[in-house]
Amino acid sequence: MDDQACPRCKTTKYRNPSLKLMVNVCGHTLCESCVDLLFLKGSGSCPECLAPLRRNNFRVQLFEDPMVEKEVDIRKRILRDYNKKEDDFASPQEYNDYLEEIETIVYNLCNNIDVIGTNKRIEQYKKENREFIQRNKTRMGREEFELEEVLELEKAQDECRKQELLALETEQKKKKAREKEALIDELMFSGKDASEIVNEFAEKVEKLREEEKQVPPHKPSKQFSTGIKFGRSADHQFLPVPKLEEGPLYVHEGPILFVEGPNSPTVFEIENKGFMTHIRSENIIERAGGYRSLIACQRALQDAMQGLFYGTET
């Protein structure tokens, strides 16, 4: 990332570590200072491609390659309207064709191929599928809101859990300090034997360690972390998963060969009667993959001799 530079003022990340590169819909980058200077009135043209741009459409560049930034922006913009789900199609093939159409549109806009025709195609699609687009936007907005609720609840639970662990750790530290002070006071002012006092303290420390291991269990959450059916179980109705009946176990049966010719040599004959003399033996990699030159030679002989005597009866 250090070799990134503004194409206008030539400032690099190496010279100015705080350099902030920004990108617009055309995919060309400018530093924040050049954006403020060139688009002082709110709009202007790109210094490289002369495309008309607006100041509020600039955003901070996240990826090193500007083309990736351009594709991400185009893909987000296209998917706002091309938001159909697989359930909206009659067959998987129609859904695959729909996805293929989206990729074609994104590719054309990223590489400036038939931009005018592609934009007309998008507008035509928006007119023909206005109801679908609006319905899916509403559905996606509701799902995002529910997911945001789940994330907020999980965040609050995690924060509560951290506070509980922190309070427990603080209490344990205070308890250790009190035990240590009590030990020092007892050693200084008690008339007991020092070794007996130390042994008693060691037993208390051991009990304290056992208490530290007994961390209170985490309160189980009643919601899914993915947000599905969270707090609105009545809103989501899923079909039951069909139970598939298992069929009988597979039993291999050897193939039945109908020979219209002499019987092919057996494996023993192939090995001992010179059939393998001019056949290349398999290497280690082929052997690991299951290939055997002996079997290949046998199959070739079977194919050659199977229909040798085949003919019409006279």
Q: For 195-247, give the secondary structure using H, E and C.
A: HHHHHHHHHHHHHHHHHHHCCCCCCCCCCCCCCCCCCCCCCCCCCCCCCCCCC
38-81 tens-digit pLDDT: 888 778 888 888 888 888 778 787 777 777 877 888 888 888 88
- Same domain (yes/no): 79, 134: yes
75, with CB counted inside 10 A (0-12, 13-18, 19+), is middle
Q: What is the pTM of this model?
A: 0.39
Q: How confident is the model at residue 224 (pLDDT cuts 50, 70, 90)?
A: very low
Closest CA to 186 of 169, 199, 174: 199
C-alpha to C-alpha distance for 150 and 226, rounded to whole angstroms: 8
Q: How many domains does the chain have?
A: 4
Q: Which residues contact 228 (CB under 8 A, 6 or more apart)?
A: 236
Is the four-CA dihedral 270, 272, 275, 280 of positive or negative sign?
A: positive
133 lies in which domain range?
Answer: 73-138
Q: How confident is the model at residue 241 (pLDDT cuts 50, 70, 90)?
A: low
17-42 tens-digit pLDDT: 888 888 877 778 888 888 888 888 77
- Residue 7 counted as domain residue: no
Most confident of the ranges 141-155, 174-188, 279-293: 279-293
- Residue 233 counted as domain residue: no
| Res 311: pLDDT | 58
- Residue 244 counted as domain residue: no
| Res 230: pLDDT | 46
**Contact assessment for residue 27 and residue 70, using Cβ atoms and an 8 Å cutoff:** yes
> Across the beta sheet with 29-31, what order do the strands follow?
29-31, 21-23, 59-60
Q: How confident is the model at residue 1 (pLDDT cuts 50, 70, 90)?
A: very low
Domain boundary among 103, 138, 173: 138
